[in-house]
Structure 1
Amino acid sequence: MIDKALFKLPGLRKRMPFIAILAILQSLVIIGQAFFMATAITSLWHGKGVKTAIPAIVGFAICFFCRELVNFFRQRFLDKFAYQTSIEMRTELLDKVFKLGPNFSTGMGSGSLTTTAISGIEDVETYIKLVLSKVLNMVIVPMIILLAVIILDWKSSIVLILTFPISILFMIILGYAAEGRASKQYDSYQILSNHFLDSLRGIATLKYFGRSKDYANSIYHTSERFRTATMKTLSIAILSTFALDFFSTLSVATMALFLGLRLMDGIVTLFPALMALILAPEYFLPLREFASDYHATLNGKNSFQAVQKVLDTDEGLSEQIKAPILWTDQSSMRLSGLTKKYETNRGVSDVNVSISGFTKVAIVGASGSGKSTLLNLLSGFSNPTSGTYHINEMDEIPSLNDLNWRKSVSFIPQNTYIFAGTLRMNLSFYEPEATDEAIIWAAKQAGLEKLVDSLGLDCLIGAGGRTLSGGQMQRVALARAFLSKDRNIILLDEPTAHLDIETELEIKESILPLFDDKLVFLATHRLHWLPQMDLVVVLSDGNVEGVGSHQELLASNAYYQKLIAEMRG
């Protein structure tokens, strides 16, 4: 119900005493309300007239106002704290995901990750407010009210003392049942998120192959599982609320019955009996309020645990590269026995390649041969199962998952992501402090001069802004690389695979100047790139079938000859 990690949030322990003080003040004004109400009714009962009851009525109004004031300040205080905490948590989450790289995002699922970062953080914000306000109220308020009832009429307090633990016990029993249901509901929600996002991304492909209706049925069945899980969770949550309401109402009724009998026998006077009876519902109120928001609390807890799971994931960062690397004609890299195996037993095995100076390296092979896996190892997005890297004069490096390596590399993927923002912000992704003159120069080199002239650097693009074509998006990625003067190691993953041949050749003309005085790794299955490459690494089912120049392999490597023939059709 309550995750202990919640109480480790930064700044929470400093704020807990203030929240506890507000709970104590609330308890006192509740007792004050009961006192003045009982005083006014007793005065009227004894026939003393309305004028004698006016001070008590005013006192009740003041206590009521103070109670609402306490609630207002507590809510405002918790809203501010929860909002600030959620912003910081979302920032930490996105920063963590960025450090973990695309492999983590793929493994978790983009839809699930997006849900966690958006609605999940909102659930956590609600969770923080509910737990901090209602849990402390549930602990402090009943204790102080019980003390007041004991002073007024200790025999009546016995009913409260006996029934409160029973209510707590039922809440715990039903809570465990609801928690299991809520976990299944949250898992169904994450699966539904992944399915929905995948369908949006692939709707054009699904329609092209006539599979959109089949996938729609898949989403329908997934949403039905989520609906069923939600209803089961709600049924237990409603049952929990009903049980608490039943026990609290039964307790108050029992207490009222015994007080009435004792009043008739003259054992107790009207004022203490009435005040104790007024306090009885207030005694159970914090518990009932907590139960009424129980489902929201469970959702928040599951979201909080999902966020913490991401934040606690080991980044596996290497710290052997002491500073960003500026590649020169004297630099060198050697891959020794580099191997990466996935659970499916796919990947790459025993890659041995030596590179020196400014070299353009092509990584070629059929689909599923391991091109993307090797590129992920070179970019530091993935850690090898075995093998090492040797860069310049450094010792053996077990992984390129290093912050300084990331600062040395520019990555151009198949599908460039355009952020919702200005054209300037998107172009200066690697160099946020770049001047407008430098940005315009980089855009010109990437063939975006006309776009910049027509739109301007302050034009909004991406979600909610101007839409760019596939070719323009790839040119934005090129401009980012041109602008980054300190990153002269470039990795390209099929940068023109999804473009038509005319646009592809235009993009290629912009890319080739980018390769000058740089170390380049290009994963491709396009033949027209190969003659411009200094070195070609040929992969087949994760194994290296050959390493050499295009002409050398074409003359002596049988598998390369076969691969080229297949590519030509």
Structure 2
Amino acid sequence: MTSRSDATPRRGRRQAVDPRLLRYASASRGFFVAIAALALAQTAVIIAFAWLLTQALTGAIAGLPLDLLGPTLALLSGVVVLRAVLLWARDTVASRAAARVQAQLRAQLVEAVGTLGSEWLAGRNSSTLAITAGRGLDALDAYFGRYLPQFVQTMIATPVIIAVMWWQDWISGLTVLLTLPLIPIFMVLIGLGTQAVQQRQWKTLGHLAARFSDTVQGLSTLKVFGRHHRAVASIDDVTNRYRRETMRVLRVSFLSGFALEFLASISVAIIAVSIGFRLIDGSIALTVGLFVLLLAPEAYLPIRQVGVQFHAAAEGVAATEDVFSVLDATVPQSGARTGLPFDRPDDTPLPPLVLRGVRVARGERMLPPVDLVAPAGSVVLIEGPSGAGKSSVLAALRGAADFDGEATFGGRDLRTLRPREWLAWAGQAPGLTTGTIKDNITLGDTDPDSDLAQRALSLACAGGLDLAHQLGVQGAGLSGGQAQRVAVARAFYRYLRGRASVIALDEPSAALDSGTEESLWQSVRELADGGAAVVLVSHRASARAMADDVVTLTGMEVTA
């Protein structure tokens, strides 16, 4: 019930576009190309609109008849329609890119969690990860739909518009160059405050999710000990803190919008006053002055909008930082595990699993060395007192714990193999998911075999269960013993399906009665006699009767 910390280091200075986005989400690359092309077209439309509007207004002031103004007004209408079409296209491209990037990052996050393994996951709170993968990545809609298009628009439109203004009236162009930097300066100052309060808000949301999850999981225990009222009060306290942090973010957002609008308005006013005085003394033509004046707000608008949209995108950016930190952690592991599945002809024996002097790391501790040989057709029992490291040995086999020493399967180092290529595993926690029993047994099989699933269920002494029975969250709907047998059936199915050569079982009979346990041992023996290599962790004396070899751990620990 205790919340575990999963805080990840954040960068001190947030980048507008994190380079890791391009690395981990390939869909973002095409998005930037498309959005840049649209931004260039929008810039041309903005300049054309200002020029055509200038021609129409000056023509009307000069008293031109409507038939002469008609072509200009028609072009002006066409430019307005084209600008609306470009805005629609930009929103469409952004929304589709956001959906693809969200899907890619979610898929990579799930794969990364699987790659890092249960030992890494044990140090994180799954509720916080769920918030990141769910609501956090959903917030990328604002990041892609508003912030990034406006950022690209600023990079393209602002320099082009300033260049056109300078070309037409260098004084106005110089005024924009001198006043424009004030907006980024204030954006940085306000952005630093925004980042701080937004990170506190995001952290509080993760804390709230973790606290709520822990309370729900331990509610029965809390009620028995009369502590559920305090848990409710704690959740209420975190909820109020999240509300206060949200209001702080909103206050900073409104302050930012006001400051940017004020600076832009003052800057445009300076240009307007300058043009007005020069129109009076005749040093500038009305056409040039009006054209430049119409362009002036457009020069400030993109960068102003970047500051405004930064707040809308802040939550999505914070979530991607959390996702990237998880994905970055997989780089060493994914780089090391480059092995391919065994290509074994049917008439050759399965390769043996060999451990020589394997010492599993548990935090800063190193467990005693373990020697083990599990050839095909054998059952190797690992026994020892609690805390001796029995489960840690299986954790090393499935890549969830680091270890020193020699560990090979078929002559190949286990560090270069993916566990799913050779191992079928059932742990002490069943690890069932929402879905049918069949879905849980055939987990990871793209073409599940119902007959084989039923056979695996029978071997696990749960043949009376209905494969179509629907389970709830974490396998709700089954007793503890039934859930454990379904997990064992999942391991059996993987072996029977030909997806694994070694079956590793961690206390598979802990929740079973003696009669059912004896039947399970017979099934294990049957699979071993059929060619499987079984590594079994059990404290039951009955397991010795059917084991071919027994490895006893002493329980001593060695400091790393």
Give the TM-score, by structure 1 length.
Answer: 0.81
The residue identity in structure 2 corresponding to 1:410 is A
Distance 1:188 1:496, change over 3 A: farther
Unaligned 5+ runs, structure 2: 1-14
Deviation of 1:69 after TM superposition, in Å, equals 0.6
The match for 1:473 is 483
The match for 2:269 is 253
The match for 2:455 is 441
Q: Distance in 1 between matches of 2:270 and 2:515?
A: 86
Q: Is the 8 A contact 1:363 1:371 kept in 2?
A: yes
The residue identity in structure 2 corresponding to 1:82 is A
The match for 1:136 is 152
Q: Is the 8 A contact 2:426 2:488 kept in 1?
A: yes
Distance 1:465 1:378, change over 3 A: closer
Q: Distance in 2 between matches of 1:153 and 1:176?
A: 36
The residue identity in structure 1 corresponding to 2:19 is K
The residue identity in structure 2 corresponding to 1:475 is R
The residue identity in structure 1 corresponding to 2:505 is L
Question: CA offsets, 1:290-343, max 9 Å, x none?
Answer: 112112333232222222222222217456897389997994634425242414
The match for 2:359 is 338
Q: Distance in 1 between matches of 2:521 and 2:311?
A: 54
Q: Give yes or no for the alignment of 1:315 onto 2:333.
A: yes
Q: Distance in 1 between matches of 2:289 and 2:338?
A: 72
The residue identity in structure 1 corresponding to 2:524 is L
The total of aligned residue pairs comes to 529
Q: Is the 8 A contact 2:384 2:555 kept in 1?
A: no
Deviation of 1:352 after TM superposition, in Å, equals 4.5
The match for 2:174 is 158
Q: Give yes or no for the alignment of 1:361 onto 2:375.
A: no
The match for 2:401 is 382
The residue identity in structure 2 corresponding to 1:476 is V
203, 216, 219: which one pairs with 1:203?
219
Residues 135-144 or 265-274, more deviating: 265-274
Q: Is the 8 A contact 1:321 1:405 kept in 2?
A: no
Q: Is the 8 A contact 1:363 1:521 kept in 2?
A: no
User: What SS does the corresponding residue of 1:451 show, helix, strand or coil?
Assistant: coil
Superposed, which structure 2 residues align to 1:144-543 within 5 Å?
144-313=160-329, 314-315=332-333, 317=336, 323=342, 331=352, 333-336=354-357, 338-343=359-364, 345=365, 348-353=367-372, 358-366=378-386, 368-384=387-403, 386-389=404-407, 394=411, 397=413, 400-429=414-443, 431-452=445-466, 457=468, 461-462=471-472, 467-483=477-493, 484-485=495-496, 486=498, 487-497=500-510, 499=511, 506=516, 509-510=519-520, 512-516=522-526, 517=528, 518-524=532-538, 533=547, 542-543=556-557
Q: Distance in 2 between matches of 1:59 and 1:354?
A: 83
The match for 2:3 is none
Q: Give yes or no for the alignment of 1:5 onto 2:24.
A: no
Q: Is the 8 A contact 1:338 1:388 kept in 2?
A: no
The residue identity in structure 2 corresponding to 1:387 is G
Give the TM-score, by structure 2 length.
Answer: 0.82
Unaligned 5+ runs, structure 1: 545-569
User: What SS does the corresponding residue of 1:349 show, helix, strand or coil?
Assistant: coil
Deviation of 1:286 after TM superposition, in Å, equals 1.0
Q: Is the 8 A contact 1:380 1:406 kept in 2?
A: no
Q: Distance in 1 between matches of 2:419 and 2:81?
A: 61
Distance 1:315 1:123, change over 3 A: farther
Distance 1:229 1:342, change over 3 A: same
Q: Distance in 2 between matches of 1:117 and 1:185?
A: 17
Q: Is the 8 A contact 2:140 2:316 kept in 1?
A: yes
Q: Distance in 1 between matches of 2:221 and 2:158?
A: 61
Q: Distance in 2 between matches of 1:262 and 1:474?
A: 86
Q: Distance in 2 between matches of 1:332 and 1:273?
A: 83
Distance 1:467 1:274, change over 3 A: farther
Q: Distance in 1 between matches of 2:539 and 2:451?
A: 36
Distance 1:12 1:340, change over 3 A: closer
Per chain length, whose mean CA-contact separation is higher, i.e. which structure has more relative contact order (CA < 8 Å, sep 6+)?
Answer: 2
The residue identity in structure 1 corresponding to 2:486 is V
The residue identity in structure 2 corresponding to 1:183 is Q
